[in-house]
């Protein structure tokens, strides 16, 4: 089976039923997507597949069509993605466990809706849980990233 992750092509010998999350973490050592709940309720495993936000714990790798982008491929250390930069500016992360999924969901939201309202942000981010409760800072960071995108 062949998959492309963060611009790199990989050939794997895995069961097509294996969740994409396990392929990323166990086969490719891509550890940004996290295992949180395993039942598509927390968002910690969020990745993009051809630009769409996908819960990788629920996607069998055999169903994968398109390129996978994880938090590692969203930006670079030299050029953070606008959402990553907003996360830093707004000091969103506390423990950090959920943040890769939060950032991936926010980036997908802003790609679809570059100027979301508070209600639209809350709705889009509602599937991403944060035990530290940084939801107000998450919303502020999404709005900061949105404003940065409009200025660019």
pLDDT at 146: 97
- pTM, two decimals, is 0.95
Burial of 131 (0-12, 13-18, 19+ CB in 10 A): exposed
Q: Are 138 and 102 in contact (CB under 8 A)?
A: yes
For residue range 84-134, list pLDDT tens digits in order.
999 999 999 989 899 999 999 999 999 999 999 999 999 999 999 999 999
**Of 47, 74, 101, which residue sits at a domain end?**
74
Are residue 91 and residue 47 in the same domain, yes or no? no
Are residue 8 and residue 29 in the same domain, yes or no? yes
Are residue 28 and residue 63 in the same domain, yes or no? yes
The β-bridge relationship of strands 46-49 and 52-55 is antiparallel
Are residue 89 and residue 70 in the same domain, yes or no? no
Mean pLDDT over all residues of the chain?
Answer: 95
Range of the domain at 90: 82-151
């Amino acid at each position: 089976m062949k998959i492309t992750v963060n611009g790199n092509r990989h050939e794997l010998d895995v069961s097509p039923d294996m969740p994409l999350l396990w392929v990323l973490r166990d086969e490719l050592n891509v550890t940004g997507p996290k295992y949180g709940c395993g039942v598509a309720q927390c968002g910690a495993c969020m990745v993009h597949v051809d630009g769409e936000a996908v819960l990788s714990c629920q996607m069998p790798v055999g169903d994968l069509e398109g390129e996978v982008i994880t938090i590692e491929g969203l930006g670079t250390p030299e050029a953070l993605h606008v959402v990553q930069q907003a996360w830093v500016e707004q000091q969103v992360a506390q423990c950090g466990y959920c943040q890769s999924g939060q950032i991936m969901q926010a980036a997908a939201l802003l790609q679809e809706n570059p100027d979301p309202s508070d209600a639209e942000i809350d709705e889009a981010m509602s599937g991403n849980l944060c035990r530290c409760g940084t939801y107000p800072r998450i919303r502020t960071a999404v709005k900061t990233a949105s404003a940065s995108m409009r200025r660019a």
